[in-house]
Amino acid sequence: MNSRAKKFLLLFLAAVLVFGAGRVQKSLNTDRDRLGLTHAAVLENAPPMLAFTTVALGGFRGLISNFLWMRANDLQQDDKFFEAAQLATWITDLEPHFSQVWVFQGWNMAYNISVKFKENAPGDYTDRWRWLENGITLLRDEGLKYNPNDILIFRELAWFFQHKMGANLDDANMFYKKKWAEEMSPFFGASGTNYQNLISPQSAADMTNAVLLEKKFKLEPALVRSVDEKYGPFDWRLPEAHAIYWGVKGLAEAQKHSEKVKTSDFITLRRIIYQSIYQAFKHGRIVENPFTQTYSLEPNLELVKNVNDAYEEMSHDDAENRDHIERAQRNFLRDAVYFLYENNRMAEANKWFKYLGDKFPNQPIVENDPTSLPKSLTLDEYAVAVVQIDIGETSQERVTSAVQGLLVRSYLALAQDDNAGYDTFRRLATGVYRRYTRQTAGSRGDVRIPLPPYDELNKTVVTDLLNPQRGLPFEARAVLRTQLGLPAEIAAHAMTNAVPKIVSPVTNSPATNTP
């Protein structure tokens, strides 16, 4: 056989083998789909080089990926995070259906690489924020693009919002929240609740926002509304709402492909949801201070019922961990009662105080006090006990500081025309003062570690707040002076020797040092 014939024969054999390999590959892909495994199918909407790589390397992709994966782990152990991130990028190119590498790379960016960057200026963590946002974008825009039903990626994406951005473990967490609020404000408005115009656009700007929100941030306005109606109301400028969104979306995908999902995956996503709702309850409301032009995060008390319902649902669905869930629910209810009391929402505080007692009648509600069963305490006594626990039972310095702190909060509320808040904080200050005095009294009634007289503490607080050099801004001082019936600041030369005459209920103002 001449050389030319051999070449034609070899080409023919090669063509037959390629055709045969294609038929076998198709059969293997069918079996892999049925078994929930990954396969080497051509990627949809993938860049040409990536699509070519996934097909051309065939089965060798796995071998190369394994080698790169081991090398990336070694680099990670040596704290060479940037190099590990580059290798992870190559692995995602070779195995785009391998969810673990997407999670690894996103985590590496958000947690490991980000903390390598310090402040650019006091309070400015721009570089660190960039890496956190890169980690979120990678999972949301790339990982889910090639793995739209992967529960692990949904769970990790939700975790970034709940833990990295929402919790306070990173010293840049307030900067993260600020940057995310700035990105979300154009879509959800100054209150963070304006999703209705995204669903039913009233203007060209609304329509543009709706399209941009879905295209860039992958947030579906209709699903936003569904999440808010079931679990909210939320401020969608804050990260907890987005953690819940991705948890809900992941659950929906898991239910569509339940044959490929383990029961524990459902529980993991539900846990993300109820933990995030609890976080939103504790600090899910942005409160702006008109005097200092700053904002703080305060409890979102509108969520109490939905948080409790989430615990009830989780307890029902996860019988194995029911004891842990109910313990967390009891802790939440104790917080809810106190926060409602602190905000002078007395009817709701009483309602949930009763609910707490009915659901856990034989469990103490005050930490380290086994006798504090719900039936043995009033709501007022419970609220004061919570403050006392926070500051220490018999520390004269801490109790003094706490009483003054509560008085400060009462006057800040008064400066903002919040009379209900003023009454609540003065009631707490008085209750703490009296409780400390009773508990530190000796057998003859004398106080071993006495507090300064209540009137003196009150006078010190007012004097400091009205001090032009270190007190409140001028506008707030003016309002407070008016509320307290004091002369205008220009005629306040005798302020340091004057005790403001404040009209308040007898239960709020101890007249002596031993109430």
C-alpha to C-alpha distance for 7 and 13, rounded to whole angstroms: 10
Task: Please name the residues in contact with 427: beta carbons below 8 A apart, sequence gap of 6 or more.
Answer: 380, 507, 508
Rounded to whole angstroms, the Cα distance separating 254 from 149 reads 7
CA distance 301 to 280: 9
Distance between CA 455 and CA 398 in Å, rounded?
18
Q: Identity (one letter) of the amino acid at 161? A: F
Q: Give the DSSP per-residue string, 95-156.
A: -TT-HHHHHHHHHIIIIIIGGG---SBTTB-HHHHHHHHHHHHIIIIIIHHH-TT-HHHHHH
Cα separation, 99 vs 427, in Å, equals 55
Give the sign of the dihedral formed by CA 339, CA 340, CA 346, CA 350.
negative
Placement of tokens 């060209």 in the chain: 204
Three-class SS of residue 202? coil
Task: Check residue 192 and give left, alpha or beta (phi > 0: left; psi -120 to 50: alpha).
Answer: left
- CB count in 10 Å sphere of residue 17: 10
Q: What residue type is 380 in one-letter code? A: D
Query: Strand, helix or coil at 318?
Result: coil
Task: List, in sequence order, every residue forming a beta bridge with 286; answer none if it has no partner.
Answer: 297
* SS3 category, 497: helix
Token pair 């308040």: residue: 504
Q: Is this prediction's pTM over 0.75?
A: no
Q: What are phi and psi of 288, to 5 degrees?
A: -90, 135
Buried b (16+ CB within 10 A) or exposed e, 119-129: eeeeeebeebb
- Are residues 427 and 507 in contact, defined by beta-carbon separation less than 8 angstroms? yes
- Is the separation of the CB atoms in 234 and 245 below 8 Å? no
Going from the C-alpha of 394 to that of each of 57, 402, 407, 416, 440, the distances in angstroms are 72, 12, 20, 33, 7
| Tens digit of pLDDT at every position of the chain (515 positions) | 677 777 777 777 877 776 666 566 666 666 656 655 554 444 444 445 445 555 555 555 555 556 566 666 666 666 666 676 666 677 776 677 778 888 988 998 899 888 888 898 988 999 999 999 999 999 999 999 988 888 999 999 999 999 999 998 888 999 999 999 999 999 999 889 988 889 998 899 999 999 999 999 999 999 999 999 999 899 999 999 999 999 999 999 888 877 777 777 788 888 899 899 999 999 998 877 665 566 778 889 999 999 999 899 888 888 888 898 899 999 999 999 988 887 778 899 999 999 999 999 999 988 878 888 888 888 888 888 887 776 655 567 667 877 888 888 889 888 888 888 888 888 888 888 887 887 776 534 444 567 788 888 888 889 888 988 878 888 888 999 998 888 888 744 444 444 444 433 333 334 333 33
List Cβ<8 Å contacts ≥24 apart for 181-187.
181/237, 181/238, 181/286, 184/236, 184/237, 185/237, 187/212, 187/213, 187/236
